Structure 1
Amino acid sequence: MPTAPHPQSTDELYQALQENDRRPYGRTRTVTAEELVDAAEQFAEPVPLVQALLELQEAYTYGSEPRKSPVVFARLLTLFDEQPDVFDERLRHMLFWRFKWVAHALRQLPEIPLVSLRQWLTEMRDRYEKAGLGLQPYYGQAYQVAAHVGEDTTAAYELWAGRTRTRLSDCEACETCERALYHLAAGDDERALRTWEPVLAGKESCQEEPARSVSYALLPLLRTGRTDRARELHLAGYRSSRRNPSMSQEVGRHLEFCALTGNEARGLELLAENRSLFDEVDSPLDQLGFLTGVEVLLQRVELLGHGDLPAAGYAGRTWTVAGLRAEVRGRADDLAARFDARNGTAAHTDRRKARLDRAPLLDALELTLRTRSIEDVAPAAPVAAPASRTDAAAVPDSLPELILQARALDEQGHPDSRACWARLRTLVAARGYTHPDDPAVGPLVHLRADLLADEANRAGEKDEYAEAAALHEEAAALYDDAGAPGHAALARACALLATAEIPTQGTDGAAAKAAALTAAHASMVRLHEETPGLAPFQEARLLRLRATALGLRLQTSGSEEHVAPVLAEVDVLHAFATRHDLAGQISGALLLRASAYAISGDLPAAVTEIDAILDRLKAHGPAWHQPRTLGLRGRLQLGLRDAEAAYQNLSEGLRLAADWPTDTVDTARLHGGLAEACMHLGRPDEALRHLTRSAELDLRRGSRTDAFCTYSNAAQLSLDLGHVEDSIALVDSLLAEPDVAAGEVDDRLVAQLRLTRARALHEGEDLKSATAEFVALAAESAGWDDDPGSHASIAAETAVLLGESGEFGRARDAADQALAAHARAPRYEQLSNCLRELARLQAQQQGPDGLVDALAFLADAGRIADEARAAAHEAHGRSLETALAYEHGRVNAYAGEYEDALAALEKALALLGEPGRDDDRAGEWAECVRLAGAVEGIYLERPAPALTRLDTAVSRLTALGHTEETEPLISLAARLRDEE
């Protein structure tokens, strides 16, 4: 573990203490604090040692190491008794404050006798009385001991709560929580929640609040019907508690909340995220609270029949839910018994039992945008047709019948073949499988080829083209061995198509893919011609693959010359399928024709074709083609900008898709289309639901890149809608996926997710966490040599956040990184916005002292504006020159350079020009006038010209109908007249 450099002077020691204070609580901070105490002992001055000991005690207290905190405090108390003059008012206050920390630590340790705990309270009381301090803090600790032990707390509560607070009382937020817990223990949920409200609303807070109160309030909120509030507080409160050893009990209560609201899958996810708490929490009381919450969750999962699911537990071995539950139960029972033995009551065993005996409060509460049931995370069962369909083919029990039915359904392209193949795969893989000796079934090698072909088809649906091609080739070889040349030809044609779809590297990838598809089509034609004796369904499939290859070529190239070959091949397929009455291939041909029209840009013709297909499907089937056809019709209507019609068709497609397995109908794509339609219709919340459902379906079927991209869009939309905690929780869930954590997902995609999370943290006013994430992303993106523009954007955002934190030196470095990347891939507006905002922040925070550096930022912004003008870049909204002039006005005003400020604002007004009647610049122009009027009238003390400026602007805006924009101008004018 890295350690801090050994301080050589008290100044270096104080600097090291400040740096350590910025670290999160945990082993790194604690070890550093221990080293700094050792370093402080080398100096003759006692004050540095006192400071170092105070820092160490804080590290132990909030790092969940209660055994060590009292030892450090004993040293501090000895120093105080020996050299009281060393402790100034601030240090003395801190010393007496921490008597409470020691009392808290002793309660957490069952090996400390109750009599010793009470003796410490007596020591605290005596010390406070001797120092002339009020006793309310002492009575607060006495009440907490009574509550911990399980005694009647009525008298202790009144002695504490009825006293006037002192400077050494716990903060308002902590005391509010204790009062609410008193009412909660009495069974009065409503009164507890009323008491908690200032903390839950964020009006009172501290190191542990409101996260502690939130965790306790979750179940009372549910019991009183406030489910939306409980959901909202769970998201925010959990994020403040996770992976924090000193808040392990709070994490346990969030796990319990998940278990009691039908969110067992989320509970297991959060348990995995907090796995380190099993080993990092040194407090027995915190361990008891955490483990009981864990057991509530695991007990619920096991009761639902999923005790064999994997679960994250103690390091060093692999756990199942059932195994971990047994281990946790033993440890938690022992801890509860130890506390009860120390306290002489059964309070902790009884409280534990009450938590474990609670029944679920809700069947299902949607906690996050990524809602999953425990069944969703259980190992996938074989795909079966939905029970709602009356025509679903039953999976036969007889093995020969099962094989024949699978092949018959597969010939039709029927979705129910999937369930048959899945059952056969299980049977064939089982030890002792005996293949039927039945001529109708054929040899085992034929069945193995069938299973490989099905596996290859599923790989292709996941865009795993190389895997699909290899499996198809392997299947073809087995079909040859089985004496099935038609099947072998089909498998080889599928392999040709899959190989052509393997992505190619390089700048001309589209041309390469088009050439590969041309070659694949030619090979398929030869294969078709060279394979005699094809059954009609086999020949139709070959024709379908030929048409598909040309359709994909058209989609890849977009070339008009590639349209006619597709249509010609489709005509051949359609004629053949009609001659042999192959309903599935007839509709397949018609769909390919409609798609060709759509790709070529003839959307009306494509819609006409689709309408004819739907009429045919309703009359002749196959029914499983209807959802896909309606989906295509909906997407075409989106292209024609008829969002309402698109929504209706996509919704109907989704309704019909419910009758079929999701992996055969592409339900994910239907949800994606509906999300787009909803956005066009101004229904973003509904769009968000469809996006998340589309993404989760893609994730479950293995299309992980598509899923993460869609989820990334959902997280951004959630943020745009102001659902900050939803956005953060969604991204956190995705980042916890095993393949993401293992670095197996595209780093740019993961970076986009993290960028959305960082922006959400910023929007949620968690500036510290947002800045840390942006700094990390800026460092990583610096290595993206193929994408300097993204690095410029990220570094620019990072610089602004550092500026908001007042770290202008680091902000300057980040801005310089952004400028260097911008030189390679221009981002004119982003860089200009960043530099102007940094200038404003520095002048606003530092006044005249920050003017030189602020003007340097504006000088850089000026060069960006010159570059943009030279490149004929058109800015969105006001020009970069206008924005720069306005910012010069603000910066100089903040720095007290009012004449320069006024000159810059007048330049900005000249560049803006006076607004027109329908001009959206009216608000911007009015704000510029207002600031110029304030500088001139208030700071330069020239009210007359300022009033003339303001009155003229008000008249101008009123005449143009921009009355709302006049209000701040009228208000400023009234102020100036009052001051005359």
Structure 2
Amino acid sequence: MPTAPQNTDELYQALQENDRLPYGRTRTVTAEELVDAAEQFADPVPLIDALLELQEAYTYGSEPRKSPVVFARLLTLFDERPEVFDERLRHTLFWRFKWVANALRSLPEIPLASLRQWLTEMRDRYEKAGVGLQPYYGQAYQLAAHVGEDTALAYELWAGRARTRLSDCEACETCERALYHLAAGDDERALRAWEPVLAGKESCQEEPARSVSYALLPLLRTGRADQARELHLAGYRGCRRNPSMSGEVGRHLEFCALTGNEARGLELLAENRSLFDEVDSPLDLLSFLTGVEVLLQRVEFVGHGELPAAGYAGRSWTVAELRAELGARADHLAARFDARNGTTAHTDRRGARLERAPLLDGLELTLRTRDLDEVAPAAPAARVGTPAARTAAALPDSLPELIIRARELDEQGHPDARACWARLRTLTAARDYTHPEDPAVGPLVRLRADLLADEADRAGEREDFAASAALREEAAGLYEEAGAVGDAALAHACALLAAAEVPAQGAEDEAEATAAALTAAHASMVRLHEETPGLAPYQEARLLRLRVTALALRLQSSGSEEHIAPVLAELDLLDAFATRHGIAGQISGARLMRASTYALSGDLPRAVSEIDASLDWSRAHGPAWHLPRVLGLRGRLRLGLQDARAAHADLTEGLRLAADWPADVVDTSRLHGDLAEACMHLGRPEEALRHLTRSAELDLRRDRRTDAFCTYSNAAQLSLDLGRVEDCIALLDSLLAEPDAAAGELDDRLLAQLCLTRARALHAGDDLKAATAEFVALAAESAGWDDDPGSHAMIAAETAVLLGESGEFERAREVADQALAAHAKAPRYEQLSNCLRELARLQAQRQGAEGLADARAFLADAGRIADAARADAYQARGRSLDTALAYEHGRVNAYAGEYEDAVAALEKALALLGEPGPEQERAAEWAECTRLAGAVEGIYLERPAPALTRLDAAVSRLTALGHTEEAEPLTALAARLREQE
């Protein structure tokens, strides 16, 4: 708190601002400071309000030891000055007796006798105050359940009584009743009791998140897995990183462990790592630690105890280490509660949770489905869709045989060469490595060159072309030292190509600079080819392939027609040479590139003809690992020809064949991405969503992170478009928790796009507070985008509307002004007009006549935007800006009670619209405008006759045009007006 409040007005303003903060240390410290500030005032009421705020901060900040101390001060003030406690303060005071009971119950150091004594105090106070005792019996039942006593009588004494004003809310009591049935082993009865809460009909600050966490396992046990999945996504979001709901977080982790989602469980544990240190309630901590242990125990059981796990701060943990540590702590906590209570209830309940077997082998919880192998810190699995051990099992045991085998596979371009090189890299790095003295193997320097060449390939795949070029040149030097002239020439040629692909720094025309670099690289390759004697056929074919690649990349960069013929000429040379020497891989590659070249030139029919021939040849002659690539290109070409069904068939077959090979060799990621596009064309968005997420995850595993995040961004937007709001939010939460995203190392615009989609999803999910906070942060960030004011205008406009929905019209006005300023630099006519009209509507609707002036100011701004759009010949994609503005003037004036002005504005809107025609959208807009004019005129201005004339004529016109659905609201309004006559 910058400065202490100097008067009660400042104090209450500070209390209000603090109340907007999330529960946690910042809010609690400020509340403590406000209590100190309140003590300076003579009036005790501000101090009471400050103490109430502080107790709330302690309660929901998981600091139960401090809550009773604050309440004791409040109770003393009540006893000393009962007259200053008005009805509001008195009700709040008596309500919070329950908070203290809950706090004391969560502290094992508080004797059981003291807990019972507090309940007696509560009963005496309630009786003296003349309020019902149902809340007291509710606390007595909860104590019995906590201790592990027979709860039947305590439950009946509570549940059989009528509710009072001091009873817990309906949602909380519903949860307690359901938990009673759950403890008795009756899942179905518990779920029936929970139904109104789980359906969202009853809620409070902790509900439905609390009920959801308990209901997850009963839902699974009764076969409602889909509902459990949906509730997990929504419920987890309601409790994550919240110290006062750490027990709920623990139950979500347990749910992950028992549904085959251990990898998601570890991800959620990392997100909630702070809870290990922030939870000060021993009872909540016991529940949280037990849920974490269920997860870690499961991860260790399936053989991944060595995985890293997010645990207590100050050191790194493996799953096995953390499980042992927190298991000992949780055992100690359970023993303390049992010692206090004189039962074994907490140890028994904890043991029952730890002994539960998985309820499902696998339940797909999120769009980003991963298993433990995929989150392991080791190198990614070599295969996607086949056992990772396939290649390793085939490696020769003999070192000379392994080296020879690696080179043979490399000559063929066979994917299994990679596993050989990886194994050799490990062997040669060992201190005791001894190179075999075998003429067939050659000297160590040649093997080191081979390994450098393989490393250069990996760098090139990461698009780190500068590193790739340097590694190739280093390899070339070692090959020359080993006397391998042909291999040295290949390494030099690869270095030339990689160097040409390094982005040109400071070039005015980057594409032109790249094309020039590739032209020079090709010329150097040709000279190198001509000047290198004694090349083996496979080496010469590779040099020809590199020459083609340089020219093909030049064509791709420039798009120039004059660059097409040179590519085709070089391809003819490569195809003829490879055919003469029977090099199947190069023949297939040449024909694939020829089809790509025709596609780049815009000759899709010729490209399809070439790819068809290439596919036939590859199926007959191989190599097998080329088939997925050939099918992938044919699928893309068919997409270009608008034949989505044929494209889907090709891409599906390509993906099936790709399962036999490493994902990076056949580019499985791209196959999934292209299949997603085909699915969208075929009207199968759910299938498209699965392919998008798989494509993105494969790119992440290959460290193509920008591509991955872009694809995931598209998947998130698609899931939002499909109405899968919680899936969208869960996906984005997972992505934003990735280390580079969390550290701000991701491209700032891409990160902002992810956050923007999340904010829109939060809004769609009716979490207005969270959505508004997200939008406000985005608006502040985008204000600094001097190179993109249009995006800032759009984000600020959406932010202003959300602030208006929250009733914060002053802040909404400020942000709308920012949007207008950015719009002046990069017009966003429709977005700004929509924003301003909506703000006007919201303010008039919320504030009536009092808000009319400000609402009209918003409409005046919208009018200026419409004028500018008209002058700029801008055509709105939706409604005409002028028509929409006139209609909004009518609606705003109607909300404010200015009915004559409302009718006049609506008449203007109808004139701008003109008579309805066959278009349904225009007819619907005209009908709604007519309906509102009729309602204002007939109901509020009490002129039913002209209103009926207007409505009857409109109904006849709409019916004659076939717009019967649009006419129904007008018919209903006319009937209402006739009834009132």
Q: When the two structures are superposed, what TM-score results if normalisation uses the length of structure 2?
A: 0.98
Give the aligned partner of residue 464 of structure 1.
464
- Separation of aligned partners in 2, 1:83 and 1:943: 60
Is 1:365 aligned with 2:366? no
Is 1:308 aligned with 2:309? no
Give the aligned partner of residue 482 of structure 1.
482
- Separation of aligned partners in 1, 2:843 and 2:576: 75
Stretch deviating more after TM superposition (917-926 or 580-589): 917-926
Give the aligned partner of residue 819 of structure 2.
818
- Alpha carbons 1:382, 1:423 under 8 Å: kept: no
Within 5 A, what are the aligned runs for 1:774-793?
774-793=775-794
- Alpha carbons 1:33, 1:56 under 8 Å: kept: yes
- Separation of aligned partners in 1, 2:608 and 2:185: 64
- Alpha carbons 1:125, 1:135 under 8 Å: kept: yes
Query: Residues 718-763 of structure 1: CA distance to partner in whole angstroms, max 9, x if unpaired?
Result: 0000000000000000001111112221111111100000000000
- Alpha carbons 2:789, 2:825 under 8 Å: kept: yes
Give the aligned partner of residue 441 of structure 2.
441
Give the aligned partner of residue 351 of structure 1.
349
- Closer/same/farther in 2, CA of residues 203 and 384 from structure 1, 3 Å limit: closer
Give the aligned partner of residue 619 of structure 1.
620
> Structure 2: any 5+ residue segments left out of the alignment?
none
| Cα RMSD, aligned residues only | 1.6
- Separation of aligned partners in 2, 1:723 and 1:515: 48
- Alpha carbons 1:241, 1:251 under 8 Å: kept: yes
- Alpha carbons 2:792, 2:822 under 8 Å: kept: yes
Query: Residues 930-973 of structure 1: CA distance to partner in whole angstroms, max 9, x if unpaired?
Result: 11222222222222222222111111111111111111111111
- Separation of aligned partners in 2, 1:898 and 1:382: 69
Is 1:892 aligned with 2:893? yes
Give the aligned partner of residue 660 of structure 1.
661
Query: Residues 594-615 of structure 1: CA distance to partner in whole angstroms, max 9, x if unpaired?
Result: 0011011111110000000011
Query: Residues 414-467 of structure 1: CA distance to partner in whole angstroms, max 9, x if unpaired?
Result: 111111112112212223111111111111121121112112212222322233
- Closer/same/farther in 2, CA of residues 838 and 391 from structure 1, 3 Å limit: closer
Give the aligned partner of residue 246 of structure 1.
244
Give the aligned partner of residue 376 of structure 2.
378
SS at match of 2:874: coil
Pairwise CA distance, 1:481: 2.3
Pairwise CA distance, 1:814: 1.1
- Alpha carbons 1:30, 1:63 under 8 Å: kept: yes
Within 5 A, what are the aligned runs for 1:47-446?
47-381=45-379, 384=382, 386=386, 394-446=394-446
Pairwise CA distance, 1:558: 1.6
Stretch deviating more after TM superposition (845-854 or 406-415): 845-854
Pairwise CA distance, 1:503: 3.1
- Separation of aligned partners in 2, 1:286 and 1:159: 27
Query: Residues 480-503 of structure 1: CA distance to partner in whole angstroms, max 9, x if unpaired?
Result: 222222222222222222222233
Give the aligned partner of residue 690 of structure 2.
689
- Separation of aligned partners in 1, 2:914 and 2:706: 49
SS at match of 1:242: coil
Query: Residues 214-257 of structure 1: CA distance to partner in whole angstroms, max 9, x if unpaired?
Result: 00000111111100000000000000000100000000101111
Opposite residue 470 of structure 1, the aligned amino acid is A
- Alpha carbons 2:380, 2:701 under 8 Å: kept: no
Query: Residues 137-177 of structure 1: CA distance to partner in whole angstroms, max 9, x if unpaired?
Result: 11111111111011111111111111111111111111111
Opposite residue 169 of structure 1, the aligned amino acid is S
Give the aligned partner of residue 527 of structure 1.
528
- Separation of aligned partners in 2, 1:946 and 1:259: 64
- Alpha carbons 2:465, 2:501 under 8 Å: kept: yes
- Alpha carbons 1:389, 1:659 under 8 Å: kept: no
Is 1:549 aligned with 2:561? no
- Alpha carbons 2:391, 2:416 under 8 Å: kept: no
SS at match of 1:875: coil
Within 5 A, what are the aligned runs for 1:900-911?
900-911=901-912
Query: Residues 63-92 of structure 1: CA distance to partner in whole angstroms, max 9, x if unpaired?
Result: 100111111111111111111111111111
- Alpha carbons 2:391, 2:419 under 8 Å: kept: no
- Closer/same/farther in 2, CA of residues 372 and 389 from structure 1, 3 Å limit: closer
- Separation of aligned partners in 1, 2:382 and 2:588: 24
Give the aligned partner of residue 710 of structure 2.
709
- Alpha carbons 2:655, 2:671 under 8 Å: kept: yes
- Alpha carbons 1:255, 1:294 under 8 Å: kept: yes
- Closer/same/farther in 2, CA of residues 503 and 789 from structure 1, 3 Å limit: farther
Is 1:854 aligned with 2:855? yes
Stretch deviating more after TM superposition (720-729 or 804-813): 804-813
The number of equivalent residue pairs is: 978
Is 1:875 aligned with 2:876? yes
- Separation of aligned partners in 2, 1:725 and 1:630: 35
Give the aligned partner of residue 834 of structure 2.
833
Pairwise CA distance, 1:392: 10
Give the aligned partner of residue 722 of structure 1.
723
Query: Residues 298-330 of structure 1: CA distance to partner in whole angstroms, max 9, x if unpaired?
Result: 111111111111111111111111111111011
Stretch deviating more after TM superposition (840-849 or 225-234): 840-849
> Structure 1: any 5+ residue segments left out of the alignment?
none
- Separation of aligned partners in 1, 2:242 and 2:628: 48
Opposite residue 69 of structure 2, the aligned amino acid is V
Pairwise CA distance, 1:391: 11
- Separation of aligned partners in 1, 2:949 and 2:925: 19
- Separation of aligned partners in 1, 2:943 and 2:588: 81
- Separation of aligned partners in 1, 2:382 and 2:419: 5
Give the aligned partner of residue 633 of structure 2.
632
Give the aligned partner of residue 473 of structure 2.
473
- Alpha carbons 1:517, 1:553 under 8 Å: kept: yes
Pairwise CA distance, 1:557: 1.7
- Separation of aligned partners in 1, 2:642 and 2:552: 24
- Alpha carbons 1:383, 1:419 under 8 Å: kept: no
Pairwise CA distance, 1:514: 2.0
- Alpha carbons 2:920, 2:963 under 8 Å: kept: no
- Separation of aligned partners in 2, 1:507 and 1:221: 62
Give the aligned partner of residue 569 of structure 1.
570
- Separation of aligned partners in 2, 1:382 and 1:479: 30
- Separation of aligned partners in 1, 2:174 and 2:304: 40
Opposite residue 295 of structure 1, the aligned amino acid is E
Query: Residues 667-687 of structure 1: CA distance to partner in whole angstroms, max 9, x if unpaired?
Result: 110010110000000000000
SS at match of 1:241: coil
- Closer/same/farther in 2, CA of residues 479 and 393 from structure 1, 3 Å limit: farther
- Alpha carbons 1:653, 1:670 under 8 Å: kept: yes
Opposite residue 915 of structure 1, the aligned amino acid is P
Give the aligned partner of residue 454 of structure 2.
454
- Alpha carbons 2:934, 2:948 under 8 Å: kept: yes
- Alpha carbons 1:180, 1:195 under 8 Å: kept: yes
Stretch deviating more after TM superposition (927-936 or 138-147): 927-936
Q: When the two structures are superposed, what TM-score results if normalisation uses the length of structure 1?
A: 0.98
Pairwise CA distance, 1:382: 7.1
Give the aligned partner of residue 27 of structure 2.
29
Opposite residue 339 of structure 1, the aligned amino acid is F
Stretch deviating more after TM superposition (864-873 or 300-309): 864-873
Opposite residue 856 of structure 1, the aligned amino acid is A
Give the aligned partner of residue 961 of structure 1.
962
Pairwise CA distance, 1:384: 4.7
Pairwise CA distance, 1:918: 4.2
Opposite residue 133 of structure 1, the aligned amino acid is V
- Separation of aligned partners in 1, 2:761 and 2:19: 25
